[in-house]
Amino acid sequence: MSSARETSNGTKSVERALSLLTTFSDRYSAKRISELVADTGLGQSTVSRLVGTLTALGFLAHDERTGLYTLGHENLRLANIALNYSPIHQRSRQFAQDLAHETGLGVNVAELDGNRFLYLLNFEGSKAPRPATLVGRTGSLHATALGKSLLSGLTDDEIRTLVGDELPRYTQHTITDPDALVAEVERVRLQGFAIEREEAAPGRACIAAPIRGREGTVVAALSISGPLAAMQLDTEQDRLARLAIHWAGEISSELGYLGANVT
């Protein structure tokens, strides 16, 4: 009985520690104990104990001057290990870096992560600088070119089940009707690439193409992105689409897909 109780208590402690870590976000990356108590719903003594342990282990860092806690370097170490074991990351890193240098735009690689996508790679170009990396962040499937490229590997029914009936609106250009999204994904399948023009954020644009694995299934997507003024879709859309398709095909070939178009 005591062994089972210890196991249960240990599991709860792990769950609580992980729930505490996941309250940190890009927008709220530094927090006080009181904020962590409010975010997790745990008691202050429990949060204080967990914070002390996580700080000692390097998963949290404490600023003595401000009293704020942030994610510690141990998270970065584990994230890098996970990325380096990802075949998609390994095979696409150099291609994406070269493409960002060639175009001067941002180049990203992402994979499906539940009902969102996860950035595996993000390289900035001279025309599309960002204040922070996108790696490890998630994005919307229905409002992005990356997301629509990833959805192109699913059936229409799978898409509807995954995104649900209510699609959040981010701008006036966001697709919010599931049927309209399914129709847009069908266009992606036919033309081989997806376009995003101010659907996720004002003033931003993106072109993406699916990456396929050995069996031909869509396992990731590659995108070229940047400010509308830098993307110049009115004149550059076809060229950027060809580049996205080409380099997504190159990565697909590296992953073992024999049907990739790499011409």
3-class SS letters over 65-105? CCCCEEECHHHHHHHHHHHHCCHHHHHHHHHHHHHHHHHCC
Q: Is residue 262 part of a domain?
A: no
Q: Based on the structure, what is the number of domains in the chain?
A: 2
Same domain, residue pair 55 and 149: no
223: domain CATH number?
3.30.450.40
At 19, which CATH number? Answer: 1.10.10.10
pTM greater than 0.85: no
Report residue 120: phi and psi, to 5°. Answer: -100, -30
Angle between helices 156-163 and 178-191 (to 10 degrees): 130
Has residue 173 been placed in a domain?
yes
pLDDT one digit per residue (tens) for the chain, 263 residues: 455 444 455 688 889 998 898 888 766 688 999 999 998 889 999 999 999 999 999 999 999 999 999 999 998 888 888 878 889 999 999 999 999 999 999 999 999 999 999 999 999 988 878 767 788 888 999 999 999 999 999 999 999 999 999 999 999 999 999 999 999 999 999 999 999 999 999 999 999 999 999 999 999 999 999 999 999 999 999 999 999 999 999 999 999 998 754 43
- The 3-state DSSP class for residue 50 equals helix
Q: Would you say residue 260 lies in a domain?
A: no
Residue 91 has phi, psi (to 5 degrees) of -80, -20
Q: Tell me which residue range forms the domain holding 103.
A: 86-254
